[in-house]
Structure 1
Amino acid sequence: MANLNQNNEREQWGSKLGFILAASGSAVGLGNLVKFPAVAGKNGGGAFVLVYFIILFLVGFTLMLAEIVLGRHTKLNAIGAYRKIRKNWAWVGGLGVLAGFMILSYYSVIGGWVINYLLKSLTGALKTSDAEVINQMFGSLVTGTVEPIVYHGIFMLATMIIVIGGIGGGIEKSSKILMPGLFIMIILIALRSMTLPGGVEGIKYLLVPDFSKLSIGVVLDALGQVFFSLSLGMGCMITYGSYLGEDTNIPQSATIIPLIDTGVALLAGLAVLPAVFAYNLDPNAGMGIIFKAFPAIFAQLPFGNFFSFIFFLLVLFAALSSSISLLEVCVSYVVDEWKMNRKAAVTLLGLIIFVIGSIASLSYGPWGHIKFVAGLNFFDSLDFISANYLLPLGGLLLCIFVGWVWGTDNAIKEATNGGKLTFSLASLWVILIKYVGPVAITIVFIRSLI
């Protein structure tokens, strides 16, 4: 499918499944594989999961629906969508485009690390359980000058090739491969992890609620995890929604996407926490879980190289499914507003992001002494600004815009395809987008600042 047809109509998703898989891929990322198991483990396992599901509905579904509706109604990028309805609100969409640009600049560096480890698993270089050797291997990669930039470039190039293909021929087609592949591999790793000696304790920890652990802190952690896990506030769902046809059932899609994202997060918990318990590891190790803990585990298992390869291929699929949506947010803006063709827009943005990502990579190596925001290096500053300022602010203003500026009547009319569909939760959604969402996100915002 071409980017534009002869009548200059906007390209659309080829199928409902294609949209749902692409949107789910945008939401499913490294945060599901690393952060969810760690946050769940810290907050009482099953009790946290229960709270997470409640907040997933109250906040996740609410904002997901708002973004998709706004995108389809305007048929424009994140900035254009706000501008079309209220000209002086265009800058809010700009926050989303900027967030996507900044996140991809360092996210692609991590994607490069994943490719490096995928190749290491093929060659058998990871077949060691010596913690000192593993730490040295990861440290050598991250602090390197040339090697991490080369792999960052490879990851960025793969992302660009997919996005150049457009919505139907690139993003949708790749999502139909990446998402089913991701599910198959994460189930395989989860089954292996759960059968480890002592792994059953990890399963209990994740799924059996310990209500004694419930506290306001658990609720706030669940709120923050839902918000960041679903990629809300960065314009991804507005952009993807802009390519939807008029007959799409948006309320149904806005329900399915968060559920798929949460399903992956739970499977990630079943893949990570049993192994954590079996090998007495720290579930709060962050990226260390991926690059340090799991290589050590696989090295001790029969067919360890095979499982190591599957694991890093899984992580790569999760990273790619998110990176293509981040790049598409920026590309859609340039194509719509600058009237640039898709190939030129992807090439320009890809090169700029590669340069900025290279600087971020060097900030863990020879440029590590240069500090930016809050005494952080350049890499961590990009993460800090986007996660703590741009995303919560974008989500908060989205609620205010849809709930109070554009108006819920207009949003519901769009969501029901002009009244053709039944939206049974419309009255509740109005309360959630106008009152619950803004309050919840404000709490996340203030807490992230503190």
Structure 2
Amino acid sequence: MEQKGRENWGSRIGFIMAAAGSAVGLGNIWRFPYLTGENGGGAFIVIYLGCIIFIGLSIMIAEFAVGRRTSLAAVGAYKSYSSRWTFAGVLGVLSAFFIMGFYPVVGGWAMAYIAKSFTGLLAAPEAVPDVFGAFIGGTAQPLIWMVIYLAINVFIVARGVAGGIEKAGKILMPMLYILLIIVAVKGITLPGAGAGIEFLFKPDFSKVTGQTFLAALGQAFFSLSLGMGCMITYGSYLNKQEKLPSNALIVTLMDTSVALLAGIAMFPALFAFGMEPSQGAGLVFVVLPQLFAQMGGIGVIFSAMFFIALFIAALTSSVSLLEVVVAYLMDQRKMERKPAVYGTAVVMAVLCILSSLSMGALSGVKLFGVGFFDFFDILTDKIFLAIGGMLLAIFTGWFVKKEDLKDELTNSGAVPFGLFEIWYNLIKYVIPVLIGIVAIMGIMAIEQTSLMIFGLLIIVVLAIFSNKL
């Protein structure tokens, strides 16, 4: 089913770096550390790793298999099996599109904080919370940084799969590792840092609750960029000689290692300076600058390196989100790459402007009780992605022929995959139930009932009308 003339990755290492970059994002460096802090440290990490191995890896293998077998991005991949499943692919594209309605805003914050590290941010640690509040509530500054960030995405994706996304991955992913390792080494050499290492890697299961398992499962799933069509799209550019299970394992290990490195970069230093590890979502932009300020002059350098790492992690992920929408327009609407990139970016920029201003000039404007930023975030993170992942597992386990999956994962019998039966039973019977639990719990936790109903209504409408898209 491979399309004639379809773009392909130039090399295996290029694909792995790009796919790992897609998986590595704000969830690894921002969300993972604060969830670890809020859920007791080491015990959360043990449960998280288990979820990554048994669920995240299995779903990634499935996405690669579906993408490569059809040589189509998310919508086309589902549609090639049955038009009734088109809505699952459209939901993935819609998820990527709406995530890009706020993701570049946060990416712009990271870029701004690189500059702020050198321009006095750390001079008054006690003022950092007010500085952050004033910055994100402003108009011109956050919008300028958002536009710059989005423009970098456009430049990379417009250059194509091998010439843009792959080249960027080969440069950015090694840079990310180097920066995080340097910051982590600095953190663990501080006096008193041992308590932070113990917090991370000495499990205390007495603190584990049902919420810990749900948080770990949700983070494992979302941190790998699953359920939004990214890995189906990247898999569709793979040649038939690549070994899908081993590639998926490498990507998963790289994603997990970045999350752990981010934890090592933060918690030893937090404990060394007597700061509270359960600081919530403000950990990165409020607590860490205060921490770096206490390091003295060298803190400026480490602050800049950390926010460069955060920017890189965000960029490699948002590039894949933009590519999901662009690939849909190319595959299904037969658009050329550059017009698809530019047109998509303009619409995303409008959504990002609304998201950014919702924390300042448009703070009084609400959609279903929340601002634009929170609207896009909740709609995707709590509703679309969880349901999208569950649909992928059900589709792969129950609607794709077992023989086709085995053929794809063994390269028509040329390479062994001894765990195929275990993987198949997980993807068919176990994972849909587990993801379903996370989806239901996440949706039920949404305080804005009208927003929850609206999100579910969108999915119902897609299920009815998406075969026309």
TM-score (norm 2): 0.92
Superposed displacement of residue 279, structure 1: 2.9
* Amino acid in the other structure paired with 1:400: I
Q: What is the CA–CA distance in structure 1 between the aligned matches of 2:80 and 2:218, rounded to whole Å? A: 30
Task: Determine which of 3, 8, 16 is the counterpart of 1:20.
Answer: 16
Partner residue, 1:367: 362
Partner residue, 2:449: none
Q: After superposition, what is the alpha-carbon deviation per residue over 1:173-227, rounded to whole angstroms, capped at 9, x for unaligned?
A: 0001110000000011111111223221111000112122233332222111101
Task: Determine which of 106, 111, 134 is the counterpart of 1:115.
Answer: 111
Task: Determine which of 383, 401, 417 is the counterpart of 1:407.
Answer: 401
* Amino acid in the other structure paired with 2:401: G
Counterpart contact for 1:60–1:230, Cα < 8 Å: yes
Q: What is the CA–CA distance in structure 1 between the aligned matches of 2:13 and 2:280, rounded to whole Å? A: 32
Partner residue, 1:209: 203
Task: Determine which of 206, 216, 219 is the counterpart of 2:213.
Answer: 219
Superposition pairs for residues 308-347 of structure 1, below 5 Å?
308-347=303-342
Q: After superposition, what is the alpha-carbon deviation per residue over 1:284-323, rounded to whole angstroms, capped at 9, x for unaligned?
A: 4344222111211222214122111111111111110101
The reply on whether 1:43 has 2:42 as its aligned counterpart is no
Superposition pairs for residues 6-405 of structure 1, below 5 Å?
8-122=4-118, 124-131=119-126, 133-301=127-295, 302-373=297-368, 375-405=369-399
Counterpart contact for 2:270–2:291, Cα < 8 Å: no
Of 269-278 and 103-112, more deviation after overlay is shown by 269-278
* Amino acid in the other structure paired with 2:423: W
Q: What is the CA–CA distance in structure 1 between the aligned matches of 2:341 and 2:278, rounded to whole Å? A: 36
Q: After superposition, what is the alpha-carbon deviation per residue over 1:116-152, rounded to whole angstroms, capped at 9, x for unaligned?
A: 1111223x32122432x21221112101112211111
Change (3 A) 1:25 1:211: same
* Amino acid in the other structure paired with 1:73: R
Q: What is the CA–CA distance in structure 2 between the aligned matches of 1:255 and 1:413, rounded to whole Å? A: 19
Local SS of the residue matching 2:16? helix
The reply on whether 1:433 has 2:440 as its aligned counterpart is no
Q: What is the CA–CA distance in structure 2 between the aligned matches of 1:246 and 1:8, rounded to whole Å? A: 14
Counterpart contact for 1:58–1:436, Cα < 8 Å: no
Q: After superposition, what is the alpha-carbon deviation per residue over 1:73-112, rounded to whole angstroms, capped at 9, x for unaligned?
A: 1111110100011122111000100000111110000111
Q: What is the CA–CA distance in structure 1 between the aligned matches of 2:187 and 2:39, rounded to whole Å? A: 21
Counterpart contact for 1:68–1:242, Cα < 8 Å: yes
* Amino acid in the other structure paired with 2:71: K
* Amino acid in the other structure paired with 1:293: V
Counterpart contact for 1:129–1:300, Cα < 8 Å: no
Q: What is the CA–CA distance in structure 2 between the aligned matches of 1:283 and 1:327, rounded to whole Å? A: 34
* Amino acid in the other structure paired with 1:178: L
Q: Share of identical aligned residues, percent?
A: 46
Q: What is the CA–CA distance in structure 2 between the aligned matches of 1:38 and 1:288, rounded to whole Å? A: 8
Q: After superposition, what is the alpha-carbon deviation per residue over 1:305-361, rounded to whole angstroms, capped at 9, x for unaligned?
A: 211111111111111010100000000001111111111111000111011100111
Q: What is the CA–CA distance in structure 2 between the aligned matches of 1:179 and 1:239, rounded to whole Å? A: 19
Local SS of the residue matching 1:244? coil
State the Cα RMSD in Å: 1.4
Counterpart contact for 2:37–2:279, Cα < 8 Å: no
Local SS of the residue matching 1:291? coil
Local SS of the residue matching 1:406? coil
Counterpart contact for 2:38–2:280, Cα < 8 Å: no
Superposed displacement of residue 409, structure 1: 2.4
Counterpart contact for 1:186–1:268, Cα < 8 Å: yes
* Count of equivalent residues: 441
Counterpart contact for 1:129–1:295, Cα < 8 Å: no
Change (3 A) 1:288 1:43: closer
Local SS of the residue matching 2:344? helix
TM-score (norm 1): 0.95
Q: Which runs of 5+ in 1 are unaligned?
A: 1-6
* Amino acid in the other structure paired with 1:69: A
Counterpart contact for 1:13–1:167, Cα < 8 Å: yes
Local SS of the residue matching 2:56? helix
Counterpart contact for 2:125–2:289, Cα < 8 Å: no
* Amino acid in the other structure paired with 1:226: A
Local SS of the residue matching 1:379? helix
Counterpart contact for 1:134–1:292, Cα < 8 Å: yes
* Amino acid in the other structure paired with 1:134: V
Counterpart contact for 1:112–1:148, Cα < 8 Å: yes
Partner residue, 2:448: none
Q: What is the CA–CA distance in structure 2 between the aligned matches of 1:129 and 1:444, rounded to whole Å? A: 41
